[in-house]
Amino acid sequence: MFKSIRIRAAVTIVLCLAALVYLAPSLTSDLPEPWKKYLPTDRIHLGLDLQGGMHLVLEVETAKAVETTLDRVTNDLKENLMDNRVRFKIHERTKERDVTFEFPDVASREAFDKILHNQYPDLESASSQILEGKGLVSLKINEKRAAEIKKMAVEQSLETIRNRVDQFGISEPEIIPQGTDRIIVQLPGVKDPNRAKNLIGRTALLEFKLVDEEHSLEEALKGNVPEGSVVAYESRIDRSSGRRSEIPLLLKSRTLMTGDALETAKVQIGDRFGEPHVSLKFNAQGGKDFDRITAENVKKRLAIILDGVVHSAPVIQERISGGQAQITGSFTMDEASDLAIVLRAGALPAPVNILEERTVGPSLGQDSIDKGTWASIIAGILILIFMIFYYRLTGIVADMALAMNMLLLLGVMAAFKATLTLPGIAGIVLTMGMAVDANVLINERIREELRLGKTPRASVEAGYTKAFLTIFDSNVTTLVAALFLFGFGTGPVKGFAVTLTIGIVVSMFTAVFVTRIIFDHFIWNRKINRISI
């Protein structure tokens, strides 16, 4: 028994020391250099409600993702029809965003139907009619495929936003889906909300298009845009005045490459003016495509477009091999860094709208910390006084276990990098009550056994044995509820569930294991014949 007591005591001491090691960075920032080099330095992460930050509710325009897919498939269908010498004409989009094809004769219509049926299962006819001998067919994405595209758009947006936030360097962000087309984003500790919103909400669709130098830009600006071309604007900053201006350009509609071909993007400093720019490196296929595009269009201007805005349109002087390019545009270092982040993380499959925005200031967060801390301290003091008053020296044993409970709980949170929120503080207070409740059950059982005339050794043994099942059952049911809260709850609810879950496990250890060591020490080593309870 003596050996068993020493082993259990050693285990307890080791766990407490480990908790102190993980908790030390949260208690003080003045750590010695050897500690910073070899021991943990991460503090307990504070949630949005404690350290301030941003809360955003985003809506993904899933219908736009379906529309984009329809555009892509339709362009492929047009090229297929031309390759098969099928005569057709495309009408402008209807309000329902369907694409309408017109065929001059029956043979063209039959050839179209055959190609559509065999090669494009995602498309279906929205309407079909014959008008003055001409066949009209409106196409749309079928409902099943449209639902899949919408679901994938939300999932891909979620992953893309998470990648952007991770690269931005925000610790412990909360990014979760809500409903069918919404995403909740919580960013604790954000210092520049506008920059964060721009980083998250930017579609980041990168395109490479040729400048149309065959038609008149002036005529296009008057509304006479030639077929197969589009007017876009290049954003420029005057170096002397710092004023930004928009320069119109006439571009060919066809996109030669997109950001899907990117392997990486990084910020570099230019040799000439010392301004930052974004250097692009394409993947293997993208490098081959860029090599081919530049070889076929020497002495032509290639526009680099991001989200519809032309950032630069340099002249291709020669064939460019190696799969590299760069985006210039008088960026600040932050702008260039954010652009590189969104390009590395990939484009959003559809635009996102900010439906709700809340900003929690750090002063409000500190006020919450202060109030939560005082609430915990007051609750702890009241519990300590009650246990000593009601159970005497045995109450002191319970209070020691409670103090150890708090130490281990916070140490585990620091070790696993859990986030402490305001509801999490409420979970800590609740854990304190549950930990003492377990000791109350044990102490009452010991009292009953002593009243029956049993010895202190037999009373303690019976008290722990009989109370254990009741303690175990109550804690397990609470643990199950906490796990469900963590699995299905959002940020604040999860914060409560985290501290409650850790607290339940720790309180079982301290209430049953640690207090039993103290009782066994006094009964077996000190040979006491009376328990102050």
Percent of the chain past pLDDT 70, that is, above it, reads 92
Encode pLDDT of 285-298 as tens digits: 888 888 888 899 99
Sheet holding 89-90, edge to edge: 89-90, 99-103, 134-141, 123-131
pLDDT at 517 over 60: yes
pLDDT at 209 over 70: yes
Least confident range of 74-78, 243-247, 283-287, 361-365: 361-365
Close Cβ partners of 38 (under 8 Å, ≥ 6 residues apart): none
Average pLDDT over residues 207-236: 86
* Sign of the Cα pseudo-torsion (397, 398, 401, 403, in order): negative
pLDDT at 328 over 80: no
Average pLDDT over residues 150-176: 83
Close Cβ partners of 483 (under 8 Å, ≥ 6 residues apart): 497, 501
Q: Is 298 helix (H, G, I), strand (E, B) or coil?
A: coil
Greater model confidence, 30 or 272: 30
Residue 194 CA, chain-centre distance (Å), reads 18
pLDDT at 132 over 60: no
Q: Residue 92's pLDDT band (boundaries 50, 70, 90)?
A: low
- Averaged confidence pLDDT in the chain: 83
Greater model confidence, 479 or 237: 479
pLDDT at 245 over 70: yes
pLDDT at 211 over 70: yes
Helix axes 491-508 and 456-488, enclosed angle (nearest 10): 160
Per-residue pLDDT, 241:
63
Query: Taking the C-alpha atoms of 186, 189, 191 and 193 in order, what is their torsion angle to the nearest 10 degrees?
Result: 10
**CATH architecture assigned to 63-146:** 2-Layer Sandwich (3.30)
User: What is the domain class of 2-52+361-525 according to CATH?
Assistant: mainly alpha
Per-residue pLDDT, 97:
59
Per-residue pLDDT, 491:
63
Q: Residue 330's pLDDT band (boundaries 50, 70, 90)?
A: low
Whole-angstrom Cα Rg for the chain: 34
Q: Is 318 helix (H, G, I), strand (E, B) or coil?
A: coil
Both structure tokens of 396: 């002191």
Q: Residue 59's pLDDT band (boundaries 50, 70, 90)?
A: very high
Average pLDDT over residues 483-510: 83
Encode pLDDT of 354-413 as tens digits: 898 887 766 666 777 778 778 878 888 888 888 888 888 888 888 888 889 889 999 998
Domain with CATH 3.30.1360.200 in the chain: 210-330
pLDDT at 80 over 80: yes
What's 261's DSSP letter? G
Per-residue pLDDT, 1:
56
Encode pLDDT of 418-458 as tens digits: 878 888 888 888 888 888 888 888 888 888 888 888 888 88
Average pLDDT over residues 103-113: 85
Please give the Cα distance from 227 to 334 (Å, whole number): 39
Query: Would you say 422 and 492 are in contact if contact means Cβ atoms under 8 Å apart?
Result: yes
pLDDT at 124 over 80: yes
Please give the Cα distance from 344 to 341 (Å, whole number): 5
Per-residue pLDDT, 163:
84
Residue 365 CA, chain-centre distance (Å), reads 21
Per-residue pLDDT, 126:
74
Query: Would you say 275 and 321 are in contact if contact means Cβ atoms under 8 Å apart?
Result: no
Residue 115 CA, chain-centre distance (Å), reads 42
Query: Would you say 533 and 391 are in contact if contact means Cβ atoms under 8 Å apart?
Result: yes
Per-residue pLDDT, 17:
92
Q: How many residues does the chain have?
A: 533
pLDDT at 172 over 80: no
Looking up tokens 């009376």 gives: 530
Question: 77-104 b/e with 16+ CB inside 10 Å = b?
Answer: beeebeeeebebeeeeeeeeebbbbbbe
Query: Would you say 202 and 280 are in contact if contact means Cβ atoms under 8 Å apart?
Result: no
Close Cβ partners of 499 (under 8 Å, ≥ 6 residues apart): 409, 413, 418, 420, 424, 425, 427, 428, 431
Burial environment of residue 301 by CB neighbours within 10 A (0 to 12, 13 to 18, 19 or more):
middle
pLDDT at 133 over 60: no
Least confident range of 56-65, 176-185, 362-371: 362-371
Per-residue pLDDT, 130:
58
> Distances in Å between the alpha carbon of 452 and those of 445, 459, 462?
11, 9, 12
Domain with CATH 1.20.1640.10 in the chain: 2-52+361-525
Average pLDDT over residues 195-217: 86
Percent of the chain past pLDDT 90, that is, above it, reads 5
Residue 345 CA, chain-centre distance (Å), reads 12
Close Cβ partners of 118 (under 8 Å, ≥ 6 residues apart): none
Query: Taking the domain 210-330, which CATH number applies?
Result: 3.30.1360.200
Q: Residue 58's pLDDT band (boundaries 50, 70, 90)?
A: very high
Residue 512 CA, chain-centre distance (Å), reads 39
Per-residue pLDDT, 364:
60
Per-residue pLDDT, 210:
92
Close Cβ partners of 335 (under 8 Å, ≥ 6 residues apart): 276
Q: Residue 171's pLDDT band (boundaries 50, 70, 90)?
A: low
Please give the Cα distance from 63 to 329 (Å, whole number): 32
Per-residue pLDDT, 242:
61
Q: Is 300 helix (H, G, I), strand (E, B) or coil?
A: coil
Q: At 287, which helix (H) or strand (E)?
A: helix 284-296
Please give the Cα distance from 36 to 38 (Å, whole number): 6
Determine phi and psi for 262, rounding to 5 degrees: -75, 140
Comparing C-alpha atoms, which of 373, 529, 468, 403 is closest to residue 16? 403
Per-residue pLDDT, 183:
92
Please give the Cα distance from 436 to 383 (Å, whole number): 8
- As beta bridge partners, residue 174 has 186
Count of alpha carbons within 13 angstroms of residue 301, beta-carbon side: 16
Q: Residue 477's pLDDT band (boundaries 50, 70, 90)?
A: confident
